[in-house]
Structure 1
Amino acid sequence: MTEQNQRPVLRVVRGTPDDVELAALTAVVAGLSLAAGAAAEPAAKERSLWADPAARMRRPLHPGPRAWRASALPR
């Protein structure tokens, strides 16, 4: 398609807005469309605790009763 055959995205049906008012309207419409697109995106997958690099950063293990529990994943 050429530019002449495309329909305008915004059309003023009443009034005579100046350039500043048209720029504000365009910014609002663009912001709303970005917000709607961001809401439609699926949520990021939660990382498994087994693959979490923070799990490698743990407190030192101390021998004693039930010390084996501290060697596993955090609760």
Structure 2
Amino acid sequence: MEVLGDASPEQVAALVAVLSGLGGGEDEAPATPPSRWASRERLVRGPVHPSRGGWRASALPR
């Protein structure tokens, strides 16, 4: 990094502190996997296959 002009050591230190605080660190992985309760896959209806009693089975909970 190059600072042009007449910058005091305090100004350079402040610039370095701001730039280092902006990021560049590693993202933390979640400690636990996401809950299946929050999964959007649950909202998608499964396929309905034509069969004897299939219409009745389609209304039953999975």
Structure of greater relative contact order (alpha carbons < 8 Å, 6+ residues apart): 1
Q: TM-score, structure 2 length as denominator?
A: 0.41
